[in-house]
Chains A and B, each alone.
Chain A
Amino acid sequence: MSQVLVAISQVAAVCVGGPLLLGLMRKVRSRLEGRVGAPIYQPLLDLRKLFAKQRMRPRDSSWVFGAGPVVLVATVVAVTAVSPLATTNPPLGQSSDFFAVVFVLLLGSVLLALSALDTGTAFGGMGSSRSMTIGALCEPALLVAILAMAIAARTSNLPALVRVGLNHPTVIASPARILALASFLVVILAESGRLPIDNPSTHLELTMIHEAMVLEYAGADLGLIILGESMRLVFLLGLFVNLLVPWGVADRPGALYFAVGLLALVAKVAVVGVTIAVFEVFTAKMRLFRLPELLAGGFVLALLGAVTAVVAR
């Protein structure tokens, strides 16, 4: 199977899977709260509606405002194409490094924060400031978590990290990998604005973080942002499950193996998504000033992982 086809199908799966995952998580939440809830494919319909609308931009905004959503989606598409989601042999697999992937994703977040500042509204500035604060607290935790996994596997190459888990299951059961993945999960929840860090379903002035940033967007721009955010969540969760339970990922060339890998990815991400949705029903949003405690906890988990990895080698 040619590498281009692999890249296209991975991107397509994440592109459709992102909104579907959002719909699934909302559905689980509704059911647990005793409501029927919208159908799972509702976010896709919302996106179609948004993309059909006319373009509306604030009068005094600059090109940065338009660039934010585009760069957000572009960065996720770029890292999705080269990451081991359905197969351990993605295109450009040799150079898809965990650190590089994280920093490319960060580019999207930074540009989104800049474009929220661009309109000069109070909410945009507040949202950007909060989002960057959380980002600055997440980043060290994430980097040390990657370091812990890289020390244990002796490489920070993403396909190699997944392959090591596939070939040596004891690496996954090692404390270094477990602690690092726990820290990675905290960072995923914080970066994608889920509970208990941010509540994705409210527009309350006092507490909103991510919603405050995208308040000025409408139409296709808003659609791109929703699409990009949901794709990023699916991408990060896909990476997480492949590092935690790599079984099912296509380790050999061939269309059949790839199809099995894709199905396994969908199943694993759906399970993790449902788990997060159930967890969210039982949690309240944390106070903003308590967030450093949670993220410092994530950092310490990663640090412990790195230390045990150094000792165990």
Chain B
Amino acid sequence: MNGATYSSLLEIAAGLVILCAFVTLWRRSLLAIVRALAVQGIALGVVALVLGLHRRDVVLIVVGCLVVVAKGFAIPTLVRRVLANAPMSRETSPLVNVPSSLVGAGALTFLAYGTTRPVVALVSTSAGRLIPLGVATLLIGFFSMVVRRKAVSQIVGLLLVDNGIALVAFLATAGVPLLVELGASLDVLLVVVVLRVLAVQLWSKFAVLDLDQLQELHD
């Protein structure tokens, strides 16, 4: 793989990661949001694969394949199961409306670029320049956890944060050790399983997935 193809492939994959973060804020249908999350997981895996192929690092390639399987297919499938009861459910009234949250996410992207400048200066590879995209994904994840009301949107927000951290890890270091990456991924998988159980419980008790309705104690 020559230099130009490598860096443009890397740019496109990393760009796709943050684009999917924006799509989760843009779309209202929860199914579409989960689909965007799956695409983001695959793009994240492709980032690791491209880096691994470029550095001829077998471990990184294995990690990339694992990320594609876990974040592109396994986790989105689990989250989608939560929606099995109400497949048409939508994010009807987020705390901040969609155009404003998109503009807010744009501002967060700028914030990410501003704050990561010292880090980017430290890592002088073409991959290092893309670190702000990972930080921006992380911030957008936090933002979506704050402004969204549905349980599924908040799970997706958490996963966006995790994907952002993973993207920064891939781009900034020469590859995370397999054990660490495996541990982190399994952690997230476990969290999603737990959250899924909680969300399904929520649905069966109250027939809502709206967390704002849980402010009072019920007997």
A residues sitting closer than 8 Å to B (CB atoms) are 170, 173-175, 178-179, 292-293, 296-297, 299-301, 303-304, 307-308, 311-312
Contacts and interface: CB of A to CB of B under 8 A. Distances in A.
B113 A311 contact: yes
A91 B105 CA distance: 42
A178 B13 CA distance: 12
B15 A304 contact: yes
B106 A303 contact: yes
21 contacts: A170-B5, A173-B8, A173-B12, A174-B8, A293-B26, A296-B98, A296-B103, A297-B22, A297-B26, A299-B102, A299-B103, A300-B22, A300-B105, A300-B106, A301-B19, A301-B22, A304-B109, A308-B15, A311-B129, A311-B130, A312-B11
Interface string B178-198: 000000000000000000000
Contact of A307 (B5, B11, B12, B109): B109
A170 B26 contact: no
Interface residues of B, number: 23
Contact of B103 (A175, A300, A304, A311): A300
Nearest to B99: A296
A296 B11 contact: no
B206 interface: no
Nearest 7 pairs of A and B residues by beta carbon? A175-B15, A296-B99, A293-B98, A296-B102, A292-B99, A300-B102, A303-B106
Contacts of B15: 175, 178-179, 304, 308
Q: Which of A173, A293, A300 has the most CB of B within 10 A?
A: A300
Contact of A304 (B5, B12, B22, B130): B22
Given A300-B105, A304-B18, A307-B110, A175 B98 contact: no
Contacts, number: 58
Contacts of B113: 307, 311
B4 interface: yes
Contacts of A179: 15, 19
A300 B99 CA distance: 9
B89 to A, nearest CB: 18
Nearest to B103: A296
A298 to B, nearest CB: 10
B66 to A, nearest CB: 25
A175 B102 CA distance: 19
Contacts of B110: 307
Contacts of A308: 11, 15, 133
A170 to B, nearest CB: 5
Interface in B1-49: 4-5, 8, 11-12, 15, 18-19, 22, 26
A174 B11 contact: yes
A303 B109 contact: yes
A80 B5 CA distance: 35
Given A173-B12, A300-B103, 16 more contacts: A173-B8, A174-B8, A174-B12, A293-B98, A293-B102, A299-B102, A300-B102, A300-B106, A301-B19, A301-B22, A304-B22, A308-B11, A308-B15, A311-B113, A311-B129, A311-B132
A173 B129 CA distance: 18
A89 B192 CA distance: 57
A173 B6 CA distance: 12
Given A296-B102, A296-B103, A175 B11 contact: yes
B107 to A, nearest CB: 10
A152 B42 CA distance: 27
Contacts of B109: 303-304, 307
